[in-house]
Structure 1
């Protein structure tokens, strides 16, 4: 049976913490930042945590490399 491969797109976007949580960068931080106020940009700086079934799907896609 062939080996399961790591999903390279998810590998670039998500990180698994030591406790098993999934971290990712906030959306809306790439460009067009001039019209967003400082408070909004400051809050978008922090990494977000994925929970629930989405987290399980991501972990399965990243599993071979872990």
Structure 2
């Protein structure tokens, strides 16, 4: 029985377009990829406990007019509170 090459091409085209093609069976499909918020990425760091920390603003320049105690407090890290953590986890999904 003779089958034309055009018929074979048509059947192959329908097979490939109707079936979903999986490119890798080892990795689960998790689309779409989530993007990390750039401003959050620059300002916050994730902690092993699940919280986040950041630096205080205003510690870099114009320090002559600031009291020493204020400069010491600005040098410390600030930690996220319970109200900020769900939003930070959404903004930094892979941290």
* TM-score of the pair, normalised by structure 1: 0.84
Unaligned runs of 5+ in 2: 1-30
- 1:29 — aligned with what? 59
Secondary structure (helix, strand or coil) at the match of 1:24 reads strand
Runs of 4+ in 1 over 4 A off after TM superposition: none
Which protein has greater RCO, CA pairs closer than 8 Å, 6+ apart?
1
Q: Which has the larger radius of gyration?
A: 2
Root-mean-square deviation (CA), in Å?
A: 1.3
Pairs aligned (count): 65
TM-score (normalised: structure 2): 0.61
> 1:1-12 maps to which residues of 2 (within 5 A)?
1-12=31-42
